[in-house]
Amino acid sequence: MTTHQTVQPCIEFWFEFASNYSYLSVMRIEAAAAQCGVKVIWQPFLLGPIFESLGWNTSPFVLQKLKGEYVWKDMQRQCQKYGLPWRQPGIFPRRSTLPLRVALLGSEQPWIGAYCQRIMRLNFAEDREIDTVEQVASVLEEFRLPALQLIAEAQSDANRQHFRAQIDLARAKGVFGAPTFFVKGEMFWGNDRLDDALAACTEAGS
């Protein structure tokens, strides 16, 4: 007897709240993945240590002036294309460790998508700080979650260690930017590849 088990196709979504192109994907991925029956595996991580491994002390959009200037025009047009709100952040890249630790803690919770979208809107549509207990608590409270308890857990040794391991895993997988998607072990880099990555989820063959 052969058992045919239907396994839902998955997309690993590596993202950073400080990353402007991650903003586009965070806002788009839940609806886009749902449309093709794909499950999103939320993988928050920190880009800073990855950039440091590559010899950069900040975002390449800061280090490369011409590219940096272009990126803000591109973001404006991309947000218009996707119907997303946009305000160029006054500080870039913003500190993002606390909200990312909370995202890691809640990565399998039903509120993860809405939470990530809310944090991203604060950074890229409202130009607000996101790395404070007050701000993160206020977002969690919007979703009627036990904010201070979740933040304490996010800041616990266990979750800090998990977050560091998450960054090491990103490095080990060859991640060099965000957003990055993995589908069946294959890497897709950038919001511009989200559709291709989703298509790969449901393609026949490995």
* CA–CA dist 103, 96 (Å, integer): 11
Piece of 99-107, 121-129, 155-163, 171-179 that binds its own copies (CB under 8 A) = 171-179
Residue 168 contacts its own copies per CB under 8 A: no
Report, in Å, the least distance between residue 154 CB and its own copies: 29
Instruction: Give CA–CA dist 143/52, Å, rounded.
Output: 35
Cβ closer to its own copies: 80 or 149? Answer: 80
DSSP class of residue 28 equals H
Q: How far is the CB of 177 from its own copies (least distance, A)?
A: 8
Q: Token pair for residue 175?
A: 């991640």
Any contact of residue 73 with its own copies (CB under 8 A)? yes
Shortest Å distance, C-beta 158 to its own copies: 30
- Given the complex with its own copies, which of 28 and 94 has the nearer CB atom? 28
Token pair listed for 2: 């052969």
Binds its own copies (CB under 8 A): choice among 31, 66, 158, 172: 66
d(CA 18, CA 174): 19
Q: Does 169 bind its own copies (CB under 8 A)?
A: no
Instruction: Please identify, using beta-carbon distances, which residue of 79 and 112 lies nearer to its own copies.
Output: 79
Compare residues 143 and 176 and give the one whose CB is closer to its own copies.
176
Let me know: does 34 contact 192? Beta carbons within 8 Å: no
Taking the least distance from each CB to its own copies, the nearer of 111 and 176 is 176
Contact assessment for residue 14 and residue 181, using Cβ atoms and an 8 Å cutoff: yes
Q: Which is nearer to its own copies, 32 or 137 (CB)?
A: 32
Angle at 64 between CA 94 and CA 78, to 5 degrees: 65
List 55's β-bridge partners, or say none. none
Which tokens sit at 82?
Answer: 């996707």
**Residue 32 interacts with its own copies (CB under 8 A): yes or no:** no
Interface characters, 74-93, with its own copies (x: CB under 8 A): x--x---x------------
Using CB under 8 A, which of 33, 89, 193, 194 touches its own copies?
193
Residue 14 sits at φ, ψ, to 5 deg, of: -95, 120
- Enumerate the β-bridge partners of residue 192: none
